[in-house]
Amino acid sequence: MKLIISGGGTGGHIFPAVAIANEVRRRFPDANILFVGANGRMEMTRVPEAGYEIIGLDIAGLQRSLTPKNLLFPIKVMRAVRKAGKIIEDFRPDAVVGVGGYASAPVLLAATSRGIPALIQEQNSYAGLVNKLLAKRVQRICVAYEGMDKFFPNDRLTLTGNPVRAEIAAGQRAAARAFFGLDNTRPVLLVIGGSLGARTLNQTTAAALPRLQAAGMQLLWQTGKLYFPEAQQQAAPYQADGLQALEFIRRMDLAYAAADVVVSRAGALSVSELCLTGKPSILVPSPNVAEDHQTKNALALTTQDAALLVRDTDAAATLYDEALALLQNPVQQQQLSANIRQLARPQATATIVDELLKLIPTG
């Protein structure tokens, strides 16, 4: 089997793509899998770290503000489509998968214009622009939420859930805490603002460091690259007490296993991982996303008593009151954990690959 997977930009696109690739390779060890991403974006680093080859396109999105860069956008798109076409003709894939992000548009346009079967995977409750534009060109659209027929043709939809790397729920608590140098007898809070970081969570966490230290809590704080230098300095006086600032956590399986409570943005991948790992969580939806879809993602959990919700605008005032209260309440932790596990879709990745295989001619 020869497969191209395209897209990226954030961990929310990249890690589902890697999960799909891993499942294909589990079933077909000799499968030849090629990723296509956008030069300068994080997939150009993260995909090779996962063990896959990737080719980069010179493609970026339209800027929301008026800028001369937008004048070059049509030229970049045409060049990217030509390069994607060359990649398709050289590699000759049996099928193409798009996971959203800049690079998936030219790749899927090139593939579908050549009659190659294509599938897209939409992670969010509000469909991304690229996937909406491609919907009528592909044979199958795998989604994580009900009601996505308002964005996509209903006859091409399959409700699968989001693909999550199988190892994400496999970490062991004692080994995980040893990996991060944490005390196995004291509570641990994990704070994740998404792969690129989150200003609100970083500012609020920095301000709460003295409170966490005084309460005897430990902290794994993923800051994102942009915020890390400042956060590292802020956390340095507390590191001996188990309060750590980390730019990016590659071993998320161990981070989840080490944590008693998680504070997180409500991106689709984060929500899916929290469901699979069964972690008691406080969700702080980002306000800087299309149609406020992170709030919709969070409400899918909070309406089932499967997580707590703190609005971004309320985070500075209340987030760490809520976090410390939950860290000190094992009964509530157990209730949230039991409820969130009920919402997990552990077979999502396998179902997506099943749908993909249906598109590939046999014989």
Does the annotation flag 291 for ligand binding? Answer: no
The arrangement of strands across the sheet holding 118-122 comes to: 53-57, 32-38, 2-6, 95-98, 118-122, 140-143, 157-159
Does the annotation flag 294 for ligand binding? Answer: yes
Q: DSSP for 166-213, please give it.
A: GGGG---HHHHHHHHT--TTS-EEEEE--TT--HHHHHHHHHHHHHHH
pLDDT for 63: 47
Does the annotation flag 273 for ligand binding? Answer: yes
Does the annotation flag 71 for ligand binding? Answer: no
pLDDT for 70: 53
Does the annotation flag 272 for ligand binding? Answer: yes
Task: Indicate the DSSP class of residue 63.
Answer: P
pLDDT for 113: 95
Residues of the chain with pLDDT under 70: 61-73, 195-196, 363
Alpha helical stretches, state H, the chain: 11-27, 43-49, 73-91, 104-112, 129-134, 173-180, 199-214, 228-235, 252-258, 268-277, 293-302, 315-327, 330-341, 348-359
Does the annotation flag 11 for ligand binding? Answer: yes
Look up residue 70 and give its amino acid: N
What is the value of pTM for the model shown?
A: 0.85
Does the annotation flag 264 for ligand binding? Answer: no
Expressed in angstroms, the distance from the first to the final Cα of the chain is: 12
Task: Indicate the DSSP class of residue 345.
Answer: -
Does the annotation flag 194 for ligand binding? Answer: no
* Radius of gyration of the chain from its Cα atoms, rounded to whole angstroms: 21
Does the annotation flag 213 for ligand binding? Answer: no
pLDDT for 68: 59
Helix or strand or coil: residue 160?
coil
CA distance 140 to 42: 27
Give the burial class of 196: count Cβ atoms within 10 A of its Cβ; 0-12 exposed, 13-18 middle, 19 or more buried.
Answer: middle
Q: Which domains are assigned to the chain?
A: 2-162+346-359 (3.40.50.2000), 167-341 (3.40.50.2000)
Sign of CA dihedral 172, 177, 183, 186: negative
Does the annotation flag 268 for ligand binding? Answer: yes
Per-residue pLDDT tens over the stretch 124-162: 888 888 899 899 999 999 999 888 999 999 999 999 999
Does the annotation flag 191 for ligand binding? Answer: no
Does the annotation flag 204 for ligand binding? Answer: no
Structure tokens at 281: 């969580």
Q: Kindly report the CA angle at 287 between 272 and 344, in degrees rounded to 5?
A: 10
